[in-house]
Amino acid sequence: MKKKNIINLLICAAAFIFMAVYILFVDGVDNLLTSIAKMKVGFLLLAVGLMVVYWLMEAWGLHAALKTLHPRQKFRKTLVVTVLGQYYNCITPSASGGQPMQAFYLTQFGTPLSDGMTALLSKFIVYQFVLIVYTGAVLLIRFKAFTGRFAPLMMMVIFGFVINAVVIVLLLMLAFFKAPVKKVAVWGVKLLGKLRLIKADKLDAKTEEISVIIEKYHSNFCFIRTKPLLIFKMILYTFVQLTAYFSVSYIIYLGFGLSETDYFTVLSCQAFVMLVSAVVPLPGAVGAAEGSYSLFFKDIFAGGGHSFVGISVFIWRFLTFYLPIIMGLVISPFLGKMTKKSAPAADNTA
C-alpha cells in the first residue's frame, strides 16, 4: 500500500476515534446506553441492506457498460472492483482514487484497459448527471423550508451543488465543444507555465496529458450517445443507488422508534449533507460530513426528551464510510488469488 494511502487511512482512523470519543463525552455513557438499547436490530440490519443495495446498483451500472464493450465480463469481478472503488474513494481526498484503482483492477481481471476506462468514464458521466438532477430537484422543492433555520449551512449546500453542476457543465462542453475546450485548456496550461506553477521541462507533457484526457471524455460521450437503452439502465441504477444511500438515515430514524418527521424531509437532509461534503477536499470529507449531519438532524433525532443524534451520526457514518473501508481491507489480501486465474488484458490503449 502506498505511503499516501496509509496516511489517509490513519486520518480516517483518527476521525473514527475522535467521533467515538466525542459522542461518548457529549452524550454521556447513560444516554449512549439508552440510545443503543432503544435501537431495533431489525432496522439496523435493514440499513445495512440499503448499503448492499447501494453497492449492487453501483456495480450493475458499471457492469451494464462493461458488458456492452466486453461481453465476457463477469458480474462478480465487477462487484469486487466496485467495492474496491468505494474503498479508495473513502481514503483519498475528494474521492479521487477510486476510478484509477478500478481501472487497474479491471485489467487484472482480464478486461482490456480501453474498455474499462470507457465504462468507468461513462458511469461517471451518468452518475454526475443523475446526482445534479436529483439534488437539484430536492433543493428546488425544499430550499425555502430549510433556508430559514439553516441559512449559513444552506450556503455551503448551494456551493456544493454548484461544484457538481460545474462538473457536468464541463463534461457537456467536452461532448459538444471539444475543439474550443481543448484550446482553452492548452492555453490554461501554458499560462500556468508562464506563472511558473508548472515547470518548463514538464509543460509539453502536461499539455499532451490534458489533450489526451479531453479526447477520452469526448470519445466516451460519443459512445454512450449511441446507446440509449444503456443510458436508461445506468440512469435507473444510479437513481436507485442514490435513493438507497439517502434512505439509510430514515431507517436509522425509524429504528429509534421516531416517526414525527416525514421521509422526504430526512432524504432532503441527507442529500444536503452530501452536497456540503463535496466542498471539503479531505478523505470522506471528515469533519464536514459529521458536523453537517449533526446540525441538519439535531431536531429530527429528538423525541421523548431524549436526543439520538449522536449515536445516529455514529451509525450512519459507520455504514456509509467506515464499512466500505473495512470491506476494502478485507478483500485486498485476497486479490492476488482472485486475479491469478484471470489473464491480464493485452489491450493497453487508453
Residue written as grid cell 435493514? 46
Most confident of 7-21, 232-246, 288-302, 304-318: 232-246
> Sorting pLDDT into bands at 50, 70 and 90, what band is 346?
very low
* Confidence band for 30, pLDDT divided at 50, 70 and 90: low
Chain center to CA of 16: 19
Quote the percentage of the chain above a pLDDT of 90: 34
- Mean pLDDT computed over 7-13: 71
pLDDT of residue 344 exceeding 80, the answer is no
At 109-142, the pLDDT tens digits run: 888 888 888 889 889 989 999 999 999 999 999 9
pLDDT band at 345 (very low <50, low <70, confident <90, very high): very low
The C-alpha atoms of residue 268 and residue 146 are separated, in whole angstroms, by: 9
Q: What is the DSSP string of 111-174?
A: --HHHHHHHHHHHHHHHHHHHHHHHHHHHHHHHHHHHTTSHHHHHHHHHHHHHHHHHHHHHHHH
Specify the higher pLDDT residue, 230 or 203.
230
Closest CA to 109 of 338, 324, 304, 298: 338
Task: Tell me: pLDDT of 94 over 80.
Answer: no
The predicted structure's pLDDT at residue 349: 43
CA quadruple 81, 84, 86, 91: dihedral sign: negative
Residue 183's identity, in one-letter code, is K
**Digit-coded pLDDT (tens) for 205-244:** 888 888 887 887 777 778 778 888 999 999 999 999 999 9
In the predicted model, what is the mean pLDDT of the chain? 84
Those residues whose C-beta lies under 8 Å from the C-beta of residue 274, and which sit 6 or more positions away, are 135, 160, 245, 246
- Band (pLDDT 50/70/90 cuts) for residue 8 is low
The whole-number pLDDT of residue 342 equals 58
Predicted confidence at residue 253, as pLDDT, reads 94
What's the pLDDT score for residue 350? 38
Residue range 85-107: mean pLDDT, rounded = 85
DSSP line for 60-129: HHHHHHHHHH-TT--HHHHHHHHHHHHHHHHHSBTT-SHHHHHHHHHHHTT--HHHHHHHHHHHHHHHHH
Segment holding 34, helix H or strand E: helix 29-38
For 276-285, the pLDDT digits (tens) are 998 887 777 7
Q: Which triple of cell numbers denotes residue 271?
A: 442529500
In the three-class reduction of DSSP (H, G, I as helix; E, B as strand; rest coil), residue 303 is classed as strand
Q: What predicted TM-score, i.e. pTM, was given to this entire model? A: 0.85
- Say what the pLDDT of residue 248 is: 96
pLDDT at 341: 57
pLDDT for residue 348: 45
Residues 6 or more apart whose Cβ sits within 8 Å of residue 338 = 80, 109
How far, rounded to the nearest angstrom, does the alpha carbon of residue 293 sit from its chain's CA centroid? 16
At 332 the pLDDT is 80
Model pLDDT, residue 3: 60
**C-alpha torsion 70→75→77→83, nearest 10:** 120
